[in-house]
Copies of this chain bind each other. A is one copy, B any other.
Amino acid sequence: MLRYKVTIAYDGTQFAGFQLQVKQRTVQGVMEKAVRTIAKSPTRIVVNGSGRTDAGVHALGQVVHFDFPFALPAAAMLKALNSLLPLDVVVKDCQVADSGFHARYDTTGKRYVYRVSRGYYTDPFRRFYTGHWKYALDVDKIELALNDFIGTHDFSSFAASGGSIKNKVRTIFAATVTEDPASDELIFEFYGNGFLYNMVRIMVGVALEIGNGRRPVHDILRLYEVKDRTQARYTAPASGLYLKKVYYGDGPADKGDLVTL
């Protein structure tokens, strides 16, 4: 029995999210099918992800682990998986991991990207790959506001209601926005020790409203205080969100640095 740590990218458009669901096409589902085919296993082989992603959310570097019944060189496993997986999932890296490694429990940080298309109309070619904001945006104001995300805060106002997680305190190490000259899209990047359900999409929604002048620049500080999700209002759509990287003690998170990478 050998444990593999596998980094995958996927286009989330045609998936009902990461997590296995009956009669739905999910990333976990297609991964488990491929692994089981390679193993010729009569029973399910569980593929554990670093966390779930919602329907329509993409990944550039999601990490999963699974236990495989026999030893296959990592390069052979990578090749076998890519030959079996559908075209919207690709294995980017494959390593044999320590038997104690766990893709979810061992994470020390995650990095998300959120892309926003700014044209008056949604670009037909980007509708599944960006959020869309057609109103005026002051990017300097957004940059200023994003600084308020950095540090350790109670993100209760930035988490979808419901859910079993009681502790809503998270640490954000970096929060940036850049303009992609090629596409004229805004690219948000958030790096933190963990993210609550819908948290990045709500953070982006608030940042866009600040950029449009609908909220004061430092409204984020007020939202920490009120601990009221309804006051954050707008959740940016799933289509713009990408899980970029999962950290396992290999990022500056572990040194406690609050740096922009």
Residues of chain A whose beta carbon lies under 8 Å from any beta carbon of chain B = 9-11, 58, 82, 87-90, 121-125, 127, 129, 182
Alpha-carbon separation in the docked complex, A87 to B58 (Å): 19
Knowing that A11-B127, A82-B121, A88-B127 touch, tell me 14 more A-B residue pairs with CB under 8 angstroms: A9-B124, A9-B125, A10-B124, A11-B124, A11-B125, A87-B122, A87-B124, A87-B127, A88-B124, A90-B121, A90-B122, A90-B123, A125-B129, A182-B182
Residue of A87, A123, A125 ringed by the most chain B CB atoms within 10 A: A125
A88: which B residues are within 8 A, CB to CB?
124, 127
User: How many angstroms between the C-alpha atoms of A10 and B88 in the bound complex?
Assistant: 21
User: CA separation between A109 and B182, bound complex, in Å?
Assistant: 27
Q: Which of A9, A11, A124: most chain B CB closer than 10 A?
A: A124
**Complex Cα–Cα for A182 and B187 (A):** 15
Contact B11 A89 (CB under 8 A): no
When C-beta atoms are compared, the residue in chain B nearest to A91 turns out to be B121
Copies in the complex: 2
A124 and B182 form a contact (CB under 8 A)? no
Q: Shortest beta-carbon distance, A40 to chain B, in Å?
A: 24
- Closest B residue to A119 using CB positions: B90
10 A-B pairs with least C-beta separation: A11-B124, A88-B124, A87-B127, A90-B121, A182-B182, A11-B125, A90-B124, A87-B122, A82-B121, A10-B124
Q: Which chain B residues border A11 with CB–CB below 8 Å?
A: 124-125, 127
Say whether A58 contacts B125, CB under 8 Å: yes
Contact call A124/B89, Cβ cutoff below 8 A: yes
- Which residue of B is nearest A182, CB measured? B182
Chain B proximity of A120: nearest CB distance (Å): 9
Contacts of A127 in B (CB 8 A): 11, 87-88
CB distance from A27 to the nearest CB of B (A): 11
- Residues of chain B within 8 A of A123, CB atoms compared: 90
Residues of B within 8 A of A125 (CB): 9, 11, 58, 129
For A90, list chain B residues within 8 Å (CB).
121-124
Residues on B with beta carbons closer than 8 Å to the beta carbon of A129: 125
Give A129 to B87 CA distance when docked, in angstroms: 13
Residue of B nearest to A8 (CB): B124
Chain B, residue nearest A10 (CB): B124
CB distance from A64 to the nearest CB of B (A): 15
